[in-house]
Amino acid sequence: MTKKRKRQDDFQKVKLKVGKKKPKLENATATNFRTKTIHLPEQLKEDRILPTNNRKLNIKDLLSQMHHYNPGVKQSALLGLKDLLSQYPFIIDAHLSNILSEVTAVFTDKDANVRLAAVQLLQFLAPKIRAEQISPFFPLVSAHLSSAMTHITEGIQEDSLKVLDILLEQYPALITGRSSILLKNFVELISHQQLSKGLVNRDRSQSWMLSVNPNRRLTSQQWRLKVLVRLGKFLQALADGSSRLRESEGLQEHKENPHATSNSIFINWKELANDQQHIQVYENGGSQPNVSSQFRLRYLIGGLGNVDESLTSSESLKGFIEIIIPLLIECWIEAVPPQFATSVGNGIEREPLQVMQQVLNIISLLWKLSKQHDETHKLESWLRKNYLDDFKHHFMSNFPYTLKEITKHRRKDTNKSVKYCTILFNNVDHLLLNLTLSDIMVSLANASTLQKDSNWIEMIRKFVTETLEDGSKLNSKQLNRLLGVSWRLMQIQSNREATETLIKAVYTLYQQRGLILPVRTLLLKFFSKIYQKEELRSYRLRNRSRVLSRWLAGLPLQLSNLGSRNPELSTQLIDIIHTAAARANKELLKSLQATALQIYDPQEGTMVVLPTESQQRLVQLVYFLPSLHADLLSQLSRCCIMGRLSASLAVTLIGILHMRSSFSGWKHSLKDWLLSDMDYLSFLFSTLAGFSKEELTWLQSLRGVPHVIQTQLSPVLLYLTDLDQFLHHWEIAEAVCHSLLVISSRRQSFDVLQNAISKHLVGLTVVPDSTVGCVFGVLCKLLDHTCAVSESLLPFLASCCYSLLYFLLTLEKGEAEHLKKRDKLWGVCVSILALVPGVLKLMLQSLRVNRVGPEELHVVGQMLRLLLQHAPLRTQMLNNAVLVQQIIKNITTLKSGSVQEQWLTDLHYCFSVYITGHPQGPNALSAVY
């Protein structure tokens, strides 16, 4: 019984009643406690050796966390790595190999967040690592990339494209080096190989089919679009790279290309003469080895032997084209189903349009690549044979339709709002699409097949002409295509009417105002290309296009109207004008002559407002001007002296005019250099004077300004120029002097100079010091035994000389600016006194010391002493000994009242040493007394 009871106790049924609380079980777990996670955001220990990030983790910790099983840890490690590397960029260099091997390994991680972090890290790293730094590790990077691209998980495939984007942007050369694998990956991304037996070996092109994967997040069209965009980018990089390579290789094909020389040396003579530069023309001439060789015995990419042959050979390119073009056509058909295309009135959606655009873009890039490998046009004819019909059928049948629909579509949009339209079309460009298509098609045609293709070529031609004529809103990319197509059309159909209409259409576009710079540049380049092509034909065959010559003749006016607004454009214009002028193009020279006065205007002409390089070209252009008349020369001289043209350029200009003048050539050479001697000489003189007539008359009214030096003994006042102006003037005067020196009949040129001086300078009361100095310098150099200084000039020279000497002696130490002039001015003063005895005599005669104040007396005394001490002057001074003695006597009498000063003692001493002490001196003196 007890047993039974006990049992009942044990198995007593708990009765649960509605409304009452359920009794607690004995073994129930208490859940009323709270847990808290222990969070270790940072380590306690400070690492002394390696720099750490915010969480005090160093690079080793972070990299080792990359192998953690938990995706969260991995992600945070990647973020931490980014943090660390942005703080301490030098770690990148030290640990590049580890970082890259770990980071690239997670491209194929299963977790999307980890991949995202890895991509972000790569995005951050890529700009900081130079291409040559990463190149040893690039095989690894690209291996991980291609394993990600071929991964069976769609997410990884999608993310791999982002990685590719980054690499393409930063390392185009490296990534295109692996094109063979990557291109295959691209194909596999959007298609699969058909393995039905009948087709495997027969035809490669049929064995690939577009694949449709319903599991993707995206529609397969979107996915294809994504892949195609990347493929387009990749091919673009490939095309750019190989064209760059080609350009550096040498230029047998394009002889006219002036920029293709890569390794020429440019030397400036001045630096060479100062031993600052050394020429080593002959690469292998010396004992030093050539270190910049590209040769590698073995590339670092162990197993991949076929790196080089990716798309660089025409065979492999052909293979790729065979695979990809059927796929692209399939894409196209999917985007624009034939039955849909024929129904007019429906606009093409944005997405298919994008697909179409990418398809065409890829094809045109392939064409471009094929052209680079195609020396013999073999590939071109192959392409034509295989694909012309397909293209005509699929693309060209819709060509006008496409246009129509799109215009319709656009009109619909413009009805709604303009803004909406621009948003919709910001990256879908129907015009570009059409142009790309025309580009592809046109490149398939050539002159010999013109008859067969005439119908669709006419279509394209009409389209191109129309687009050009209303092409105000073209951007540079579209225009580039457009001009490419027009160029090709011109080449295909080279009869005159056809080209003339095209050129005319381009010209109407060119004449529009407000074109942006790249567009304008492209148009200019296009025209200059046509011009050059036309020039290449021999004389008799040249049939000039009228539009072209009108364009050419308009250039100088454009240049002068452009002013300083756009120096780059001006440079291009000048280049073209220069080329045409050098080739003696009649129309251009005529219009250049007409606008020369505007271009070389000293106030705001093109020449003075542009930067130095353009100025130089313009200066050189002077050589080609058919006639240099007096007005132009006076403007040029103003340009020279106003200082807007640097001294060296001014010297160049003077040299060029010398070459144009009759003094440089051979006596019997052609007389058609229309530069009269009179104009040339007056140019030289006005450049020498350095100041225009107006400026000089303005100077005459200046009195009592600190810049004007006045003396009591000389009627000529000296105007002090700035040091810059002075030096500029001096340098130019030297060039002028040289030009005068080389004129064969010295006497005549000297007389001309004298006349000019007496006509324009004598009679002035205020004269600039630089002018006086330069005139003196030129006179001294020109003077030889055949010439004589006219009497009328002497008083002016003498008073100028005195003024100059007075200025030099009163110069104070403080005036650093003028101190630099001293040597030069002193030199010319002394040499003119030595060479022309009359000047010295007149100057001494004018020293009527009784009329001057005590300060100037002091100066006169000092001057006499210096002149006495100067050795080359000594004989001249001896001849004038009487005068000198008289002056000294006067000074002494004037000074007798006060204490005898040091300078007077010095003067007496010098006089006694140099004049009285001289063997002839006393005799001469005694003879006089």
Partner 1 sequence: MAAPMEVAVCTDTAAQLWSCIVWELHSGANLLTYRGGQAGPRGLALLNGEYLLAAQLGKNYISAWEVQRKDQLQQKIMCPGPVTCLTTAPNGLYVVAGIAESIYLWEVSTGNLLVILSRHYQDVSCLQFTGDSSYFLSGGKDCLVLAWSLCSVLQMDPSRIVAPRHVWSRHTLPITDLHCGFGGPLARVATASLDQTVKLWELSSGEMLLSVLFDVGIMAVTMDLAEYHMFCGGTDGSIFQVDLCSWPGQRERSFPPDQDSGKIFRGHRNQVTCLSVSMDGSVLLSGSHDETVRLWDVPSKQCIRTVTHKGPVTNATIMLAPISMLSSDFRPSLPLPHFNKHLLGAEHGDELRRGGLTLRLGLHQQGSELSYQERLEQLQAVLSDSVEKNVLGGQDRLQLHVTELEDEVCNLRKINRDLFDFSTRVITTTRRAK
When the beta carbons of 135 and 571 are compared against partner 1, the nearer one is 571
Q: State both tokens at 556.
A: 């100088």
In the complex, minimum distance from the CB of residue 207 to partner 1, in angstroms, rounded to a whole number: 33
When the beta carbons of 284 and 455 are compared against partner 1, the nearer one is 284
When the beta carbons of 29 and 264 are compared against partner 1, the nearer one is 264
Q: Which residue has the tokens 């040339």?
A: 680
In the complex, minimum distance from the CB of residue 263 to partner 1, in angstroms, rounded to a whole number: 8
In the complex, minimum distance from the CB of residue 246 to partner 1, in angstroms, rounded to a whole number: 14
In the complex, minimum distance from the CB of residue 585 to partner 1, in angstroms, rounded to a whole number: 8
In the complex, minimum distance from the CB of residue 656 to partner 1, in angstroms, rounded to a whole number: 7
In the complex, minimum distance from the CB of residue 447 to partner 1, in angstroms, rounded to a whole number: 16
When the beta carbons of 103 and 653 are compared against partner 1, the nearer one is 653
Measured distance CA(640)–CA(653) in Å, rounded: 8
Residues 486/529, Cβ–Cβ less than 8 Å = no
Indicate the SS3 state at residue 296. Answer: coil
Q: Which residue has the tokens 């969260």?
A: 72
When the beta carbons of 512 and 745 are compared against partner 1, the nearer one is 745
When the beta carbons of 76 and 585 are compared against partner 1, the nearer one is 585
How would DSSP label each residue in 650-717?
Answer: HHHHHHHHHHHSTTTS-TTS-S--B--HHHHHHHHHHHHH-S-HHHHHHHHT--S-TTEE--SS-S-E
Indicate the SS3 state at residue 762. Answer: coil
When the beta carbons of 42 and 613 are compared against partner 1, the nearer one is 613
AA letter at 887: I
Q: State both tokens at 258.
A: 């002036």
In the complex, minimum distance from the CB of residue 728 to partner 1, in angstroms, rounded to a whole number: 16
Q: Which of 658, 568, 659, 644 minimizes the C-alpha distance to 605?
A: 644
AA letter at 471: G
Measured distance CA(877)–CA(864) in Å, rounded: 10
In the complex, minimum distance from the CB of residue 683 to partner 1, in angstroms, rounded to a whole number: 17
Chain centroid to CA 723: how far? Answer: 33
Question: 173: exposed, middle or buried (C-beta count within 10 Å: 0-12, 13-18, 19+)?
Answer: middle
- Residue-wise burial string across 735-768, b where 16 or more C-beta atoms lie within 10 A, e elsewhere: bbbebbeebeebeebbebbbebbeeebeebebbb
In the complex, minimum distance from the CB of residue 282 to partner 1, in angstroms, rounded to a whole number: 6
Q: Which residue has the tokens 């393409």?
A: 168
When the beta carbons of 261 and 900 are compared against partner 1, the nearer one is 261
When the beta carbons of 277 and 879 are compared against partner 1, the nearer one is 277
In the complex, minimum distance from the CB of residue 448 to partner 1, in angstroms, rounded to a whole number: 17
When the beta carbons of 33 and 666 are compared against partner 1, the nearer one is 666
Q: Which of 298, 295, 294, 306 minimizes the C-alpha distance to 177?
A: 306
When the beta carbons of 3 and 785 are compared against partner 1, the nearer one is 785
Q: Which of 302, 295, 288 minimizes the C-alpha distance to 136?
A: 302
CA 43, 49, 54, 58 torsion: positive or negative? negative
Measured distance CA(40)–CA(155) in Å, rounded: 32
Measured distance CA(58)–CA(467) in Å, rounded: 61
User: What secondary structure letter does DSSP report for 720?
Assistant: P
Residues that bind partner 1 (CB under 8 A): 250-252, 255-256, 258, 260-261, 263-270, 272-275, 278-282, 285-286, 288, 535, 537-539, 541, 578-579, 582-584, 617, 620, 623, 648, 651-652, 655-656, 658-659, 664, 666-670, 738, 741-742
CA 122, 123, 127, 128 torsion: positive or negative? negative
In the complex, minimum distance from the CB of residue 623 to partner 1, in angstroms, rounded to a whole number: 6
